[in-house]
């Protein structure tokens, strides 16, 4: 891999920072186009239960000050950018005065766990199945079964989740219907808690895996078709190397690079795709938090969650750029 050139690293870091700042700016602008006043919305929720609120004008003024809405737009933007880059997303309007950062901090570990498990499994299984569809030594039954299994890729994750709940929770009773862990288990760094989390997270992860593995399989199939006719593959066969060694070393390794790029880009898309899955399984992740925030028009939470998703995607792409030479030695940083 060698040493990363300072100029290349500076360029990538600059691109990362600009991407995050531009995304944060768009996140700030778009909710303001709706014309909704978060302070008025918060006051309306206070009055929804009792009909009216005493000293409403004073409370509204205090809320506007708490949300920073009493400042000029230019000052609001500068404060927003600074606070966002320091992960201070303000206060939730639906759960006032709970800090948005605290809500995201509670939800983020659950989403990262579910996302990484499902994404890694789909990446490995999908790419392997895609390679097997092209490999000449794959049994014929597999070449028929793999494309047939891709029918599930046309099913939305929420429907796959409901189907899995019906089969494995309602009928077979193998897995729980909802929740991140058992009711009789206390959150702690223990084996029992970890086992309960994995047990409860199996169906949500599976509902994502069964509908997304086809994306990787079809992409890998197209890449493998181009690789199998290359001269180095033909030479490896002429040298008498084992077919499985050729599959891994010469074909998959050379074809998988675009898939690694897609892996980084898929992180943000997968979080968005987990919204309804987390909702139906009552999984306390970022997807459920975003879903509830949209229903209650909680713009600070929507902005905070959106920023974190964009940041995760941008950092993933940045890291992928740095590790490319590890996957393909022909690639050099800055070349």
The pLDDT tens digits of the residues spanning 85-128 come to 888 888 787 777 788 889 888 888 888 878 778 888 888 888 88
Q: What is the DSSP string of 205-222?
A: HHHHHHHHHHHHHHHHHH
Cross-strand pairs, 10: none
* Torsion sign across C-alpha atoms 90, 91, 92, 93: negative
Q: Which domains does the chain have, with CATH numbers?
A: 108-301 (1.10.3720.10)
Model confidence, pTM: 0.75
Between CA 101 and CA 261 the distance in angstroms is: 29
Q: Of 207, 208, 156, 204, nearest to 176 (Cα)? A: 204
At residue 327, the pLDDT reads 66
Is 242 exposed, middle or buried, given 0-12, 13-18 or 19+ CB atoms closer than 10 A?
A: exposed
At residue 53, the pLDDT reads 55
Query: In the chain, count of helices (H) and strands (E)?
Result: 14, 0
At residue 45, the pLDDT reads 62
Angle at 237 between CA 130 and CA 127, to 5 degrees: 15
Between CA 17 and CA 39 the distance in angstroms is: 31
Structure tokens at 196: 């309960």
Radius of gyration of the chain (CA): 24
Q: What is the pLDDT along the chain (335 residues), one digit of tens a residue?
A: 457 777 878 888 888 888 888 888 888 888 777 666 666 666 666 556 555 555 656 666 776 666 666 677 788 788 888 888 888 888 787 777 788 889 888 888 888 878 778 888 888 888 888 888 888 888 888 888 888 777 777 777 778 888 888 888 888 888 888 777 777 777 777 788 888 888 888 888 888 888 888 888 888 888 888 888 788 888 888 888 898 888 888 888 888 888 887 887 777 666 666 777 777 887 888 888 888 888 877 888 888 888 888 888 888 888 877 777 766 666 666 55
* Torsion sign across C-alpha atoms 280, 286, 287, 290: positive
Between CA 62 and CA 125 the distance in angstroms is: 54
Between CA 49 and CA 214 the distance in angstroms is: 48
């Amino acid at each position: 891999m060698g040493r990363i050139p300072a100029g290349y690293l500076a360029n990538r870091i600059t691109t990362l920072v600009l991407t995050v700042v531009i995304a944060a700016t768009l996140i700030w602008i778009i909710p303001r186009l709706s014309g909704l006043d978060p302070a008025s919305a918060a006051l309306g929720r206070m009055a929804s239960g009792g009909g009216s609120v005493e000293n409403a004008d004073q409370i509204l003024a205090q809320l506007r000050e708490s949300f920073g809405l009493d400042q000029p737009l230019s000052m609001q933007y500068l404060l927003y950018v600074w606070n966002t880059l320091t992960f201070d997303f303000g206060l939730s309007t639906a759960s006032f005065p709970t800090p948005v950062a605290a809500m995201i901090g509670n939800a983020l570990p659950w989403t990262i766990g579910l996302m990484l498990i499902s994404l890694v499994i789909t990446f490995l299984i999908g790419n392997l199945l895609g390679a097997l569809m092209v490999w000449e030594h794959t049994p014929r039954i597999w070449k028929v079964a793999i494309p047939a299994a891709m029918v599930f890729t046309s099913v939305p994750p929420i429907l796959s989740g409901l189907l899995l709940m019906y089969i494995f929770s309602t009928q077979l009773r193998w897995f729980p219907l909802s929740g991140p862990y058992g009711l009789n288990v206390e959150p702690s760094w223990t084996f029992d808690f970890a086992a309960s989390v994995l047990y409860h997270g199996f169906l949500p992860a599976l509902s994502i895996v069964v509908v997304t593995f086809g994306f990787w399989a079809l992409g890998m199939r197209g890449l493998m078709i181009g690789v199998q006719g290359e001269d180095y593959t033909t030479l490896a066969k002429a040298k008498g190397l084992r077919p499985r060694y050729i599959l891994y070393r010469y074909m998959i390794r050379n074809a998988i690079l675009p898939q690694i790029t897609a892996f980084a880009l898929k992180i943000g898309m997968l979080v968005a795709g987990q919204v309804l899955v987390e909702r139906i399984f009552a999984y306390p992740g970022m997807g459920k938090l975003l879903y509830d925030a949209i229903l209650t028009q909680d713009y600070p939470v929507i902005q905070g969650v959106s920023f974190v998703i964009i940041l995760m995607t941008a950092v993933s792409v940045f890291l992928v750029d740095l590790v490319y030479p590890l996957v393909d030695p022909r690639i050099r940083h800055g070349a």
